[in-house]
A = this chain, B = another copy of it.
Amino acid sequence: MTPTSEPPAQKLTPKGLATRERIIKAAAELIYEHGAQNTNNEQIRAATGVSGSQLTRHFPTKESLVRAVLAWQADGILARHQIPELGELDSFAALHRWADSYIASQEALRGGCLFGSLAAEVVKAEPAHHGAVADGFERWQELFRRGLSTMRERGELRPEADPIALTHLLAAAFQGGMLLDQAAGESTPLRDALYGALAYIESFAAPR
């Protein structure tokens, strides 16, 4: 991670924190819609009513803002995977509910994964973002690894099921499927990729 010069969030007043949040949220929406490269300060100011000097005080550079958006999207994705309906992602039913929640949404077609589409856009262009990209993918995958590990410990998956390898397949199928959906303008690539990955994971189910 590269050091940055924006003021640390924990030193802000409640009002300053609220402004910072408002900037990040508006930037995240604009970036999700148009890409980071097509989002500029004027659009963010118009969307938030924040002045140019306030914007610069919170985020002196575009890189610092994009990094904050990456972290914010990663937090949002994590929260979305930790809702009661999905439990600890530690059952075949929960994994299917997770997959279906994305397949049924129009998100893939609209702009792909909230975190992954931005990660893919900036990972190469800005080495300073690399840490935030790696961290977001890692925290997300950890949820699946933990769920699959629990299933193996409980004896629902056979001992030879490798939670790390199966998580890599599931995460790759998701990210690749989101990109292919977005490109094709239809939602079968993600569905086929996730159902295929889940069927493969289920092939490790222990006999009851």
Chain A: residues with CB nearer than 8 A to chain B? Answer: 33-38, 111-112, 116-117, 119-126, 130, 133-134, 137-138, 162, 164-166, 168-169, 171-177, 179-180, 182-185, 188-193, 195-197, 199-200, 203
Contact = CB atoms under 8 A, between A and B. Distances in A.
Contact of A175 (B117, B162, B175): B175
A168 B176 CA distance: 9
B193 A196 contact: no
Given A35-B125, A124-B34, A173 B183 contact: no
A35 B127 CA distance: 11
A111 B175 CA distance: 16
A120 B190 CA distance: 15
Contact of A203 (B117, B138, B164, B203): B203
A37 B193 contact: no
> Closest 9 A-B residue pairs measured CB to CB?
A172-B176, A176-B176, A35-B125, A169-B196, A172-B193, A175-B176, A168-B192, A120-B120, A165-B192
A145 B182 CA distance: 20
User: Among the interface residues A119, A193, A195, which one has the most CB atoms of the partner chain B within 10 A?
Assistant: A193
A72 to B, nearest CB: 17
Contacts of A38: 125-126
28 contacts: A35-B122, A37-B37, A37-B125, A38-B125, A111-B124, A117-B124, A121-B125, A123-B183, A130-B183, A133-B183, A137-B180, A138-B184, A162-B192, A165-B188, A165-B192, A166-B192, A168-B189, A169-B173, A169-B197, A171-B176, A172-B173, A172-B177, A172-B190, A173-B173, A175-B176, A175-B180, A176-B177, A197-B197
